[in-house]
C-alpha cells in the first residue's frame, strides 16, 4: 500500500517540491526518523521546544510546530513483521 505522506529519498523529495505552489501561510516540516525514542518526556520536551521556538518565531507558528511535535511523540508506534510495537 502506498503512503502519500512518506518519500522514497531526498532526490524524489526535491523533485516533488519543485511542483508545489506554496503560499506565505503554508509551513513545511520534514522528519527523518532514524530511531524511536519511547522514553522521551513529552511535556518537558514540548516545553523546551516551545521556549526555543518562541525566540525565533511568532506564537502561532510556535504552537503549530509544538502541536505536531506532541502528535509525533504521542503516536510512537511501528509495525515489524506484521507485529505492531
Long-range CB contacts for residues 28-37, cutoff 8 Å, separation at least 24: 29/65, 29/68, 31/72, 36/76, 36/78, 37/76
DSSP conformational letter for 73 = H
By the 8 A CB rule, do 66 and 43 touch? no
Which pLDDT band holds residue 71 (cuts at 50, 70, 90)? Answer: confident
| Higher pLDDT pick, 33 / 80 | 80
Average of per-residue pLDDT values in the chain: 80
| Most confident option among 12-21, 22-31, 54-63 | 54-63
Domain boundaries, the chain: 27-78
Amino acid at each position: 500500500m502506498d503512503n502519500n505522506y512518506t518519500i522514497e529519498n531526498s532526490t524524489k523529495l526535491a523533485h516533488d517540491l519543485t511542483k508545489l505552489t506554496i503560499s506565505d501561510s503554508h509551513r513545511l516540516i520534514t522528519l527523518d526518523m532514524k530511531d524511536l525514542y519511547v522514553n522521551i518526556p513529552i511535556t518537558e520536551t514540548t516545553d523546551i521546544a516551545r521556549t526555543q521556538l518562541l525566540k525565533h518565531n511568532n506564537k502561532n507558528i510556535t504552537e503549530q510546530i509544538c502541536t505536531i511535535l506532541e502528535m509525533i511523540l504521542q503516536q510512537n508506534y511501528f509495525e515489524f513483521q506484521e507485529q505492531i510495537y
